[in-house]
A and B are shown apart, each in its own frame.
Chain A
């Protein structure tokens, strides 16, 4: 009896791992291939569908402004919510910046935040004395592809006022 039990245990412990190893190796290779080294990342969602483009230029880290159909974020922190209104002519819902958030074309809260970011970046550049940290007014913009240009123009104008003049539009490589 005892002998039999022992033998059965040995048999059940002898799981064939080889096929699993094959699978794991394939997954490992696939994941290593898709390993990302870029330091900019966006999480696409229903409200943030990034357009596809044929450009090959790699993104470089900079102040990152995300304009989804619901809100504007600066470096991951939500700044303000966008409103959806029916268009006067077509009646279709269009996204726009609420009027109370604007000073003329400028979005006040976004301006304050971006100015703060610009000051920080300049300070950093001055302290390190390194050319690569110098403030060049670079700003990354990830926008939803359905957004009307008016929203993007207002954000660009605001960024321009806050000394960010080099726009980099984030797109999906297609």
Chain B
């Protein structure tokens, strides 16, 4: 008698569950997302950068920075309208501020993102309230370089502030650019 009962308990009917699972799998496969997407915000320069309203009061003692990063096929040129920054970092005549690791920047990796980040960190030290950056890419610069640069200007994961990546200049404006 006991042996018979245990045999009955073993024979659980899994077929309906199987049916259910087989129907669920194609459905979930359709809704599955194998690449997770994200977005980078940017505005047109004509409309203006999305500034925080509280920024405007703070900046009275300092002239606006107007930090711009110019992307060319020689590297990055970092410029600002403020006289302090221009003398310290801008390298107008003698080529780009952050030159490419290889001449002509043949690949995306030849752009010196690390050095750009270091420089932007220094600028952020000076102008803590500034959150806007203007990117001026040259016509031939590949889109991927633009995205990598926007990543570099947004935050710095190597420089942690309170466990989080240090926010550099999160508001990007893409200007028309140099021909």
**Hey, which bits of chain A sit against chain B, CB under 8 A?**
17-18, 20-21, 24-25, 27-28, 31-32, 34-36, 38, 40-42, 44, 50-60, 87, 94, 140, 143-150, 152-153, 156-157, 160, 165-173
Could you say which of A87, A147, A171 contacts B40, with CB atoms under 8 Å apart? A171
Size of the chain B interface, CB-CB below 8 angstroms: 46
Given contacts A17-B15, A28-B25, A54-B157, contact A150 B139 (CB under 8 A): yes
- A168 contacts B40, C-beta separation under 8 Å: yes
Q: Is the CB of B33 within 8 A of A168?
A: no
B residues engaging A (CB < 8 A)? 14-15, 17-18, 21-22, 24-25, 28-29, 31-44, 46-47, 71, 137-144, 146-148, 150-151, 154-155, 157, 174, 176-177
Given contacts A28-B21, A35-B33, A53-B147, contact A146 B142 (CB under 8 A): yes
Besides A17-B15, A148-B141, A165-B46, 17 other CB < 8 A contacts? A20-B18, A21-B14, A24-B18, A25-B21, A35-B28, A40-B37, A42-B37, A55-B40, A55-B154, A145-B142, A145-B143, A148-B143, A150-B140, A153-B137, A156-B174, A167-B41, A168-B41
A16 to B174, CA, bound (A): 62
Separation of A103 and B46 alpha carbons in the complex (Å): 20
> Please, which residues of chain B bring their CB within 8 A of the CB of A58?
38-39
- A-B pairs with the 6 shortest C-beta distances? A36-B33, A31-B28, A145-B144, A150-B139, A168-B39, A51-B147
Interface of B is mostly: mixed
Hey, which chain A residues are within 8 Å of B31, CB to CB?
Answer: 35-36
- Tell me if A57 and B41 are in contact (CB < 8 A): yes
> A56 contacts B38, CB within 8 Å?
yes
21 sample A-B contacts, Cβ–Cβ < 8 Å, listed by A number: A20-B18, A28-B21, A31-B25, A31-B28, A34-B33, A36-B32, A40-B37, A55-B154, A56-B38, A57-B39, A57-B40, A57-B41, A140-B39, A145-B143, A149-B142, A165-B43, A166-B43, A169-B39, A170-B39, A171-B40, A172-B38
> Beyond A55-B40, A167-B44, A172-B37, is A149–B24 a contact (Cβ under 8 Å)?
no
Distance A170 CA – B137 CA, assembled complex (angstroms): 18
Question: In the complex, what distance in Å separates the CA atom of A149 from the CA atom of B175?
Answer: 11
A171 touches B138 (CB 8 A): no
Residue of B nearest to A14 (CB): B11
The chain B residue sitting closest to A147, CB to CB, is: B143
B23 CB, nearest partner CB in chain A, Å: 11
Are the CB atoms of B42 and A145 closer together than 8 Å? no
A146–B143 CB distance below 8 A: yes
What chain B residues lie within 8 Å of A59 (beta carbons)? 37-39
CB-defined contacts of A52 to chain B, threshold 8 Å: 147
